[in-house]
Amino acid sequence: MESLNKKKSVKHICRGLSIYKTGRSPFWHARIYDPLTKRYVVRSTKETNRLQAMDVAEEILADLKAKTNTNHAASKDRSFEHYARVNSDMMNRAGSAGG
């Protein structure tokens, strides 16, 4: 017996973004790859029409990218200040070792 959760039809929109339908739901779902966490995020588009679902999926992707950019900018270990401090510490150690 075939699972009802199996993806019945998958449409790739662009790199990292695709939509699909399962047997359990009449709605299309958006599947988005998150490169920071290296995982997929799945959201329902709440659309039964494929073309409308593609538009909603692109909106979901834009929203996730906007949230990721604000979260990414707030990350302490990836900020410019962090790398400037690391570089400064390395230069201080190199200067004190040579002198």
Q: Which two tokens stand for residue 3?
A: 């699972």
| Residue 52 confidence (pLDDT) | 96
Using CA atoms, how far residue 33 sits from 17, 71, 79, in Å, is 7, 16, 23
Q: Which two tokens stand for residue 56?
A: 């909603």
N- to C-terminal Cα separation, the chain? 76
Q: How far apart are CA 82 and CA 88, in angstroms?
A: 10
Q: What is the pTM of this model?
A: 0.67
pLDDT tens digit at each of 99 positions of the chain: 778 888 888 999 999 999 999 989 999 999 999 888 889 999 999 999 999 999 999 999 999 988 877 665 555 666 788 888 888 988 888 877 765
Residues 59 and 46 sit within 8 Å (Cβ to Cβ)? no
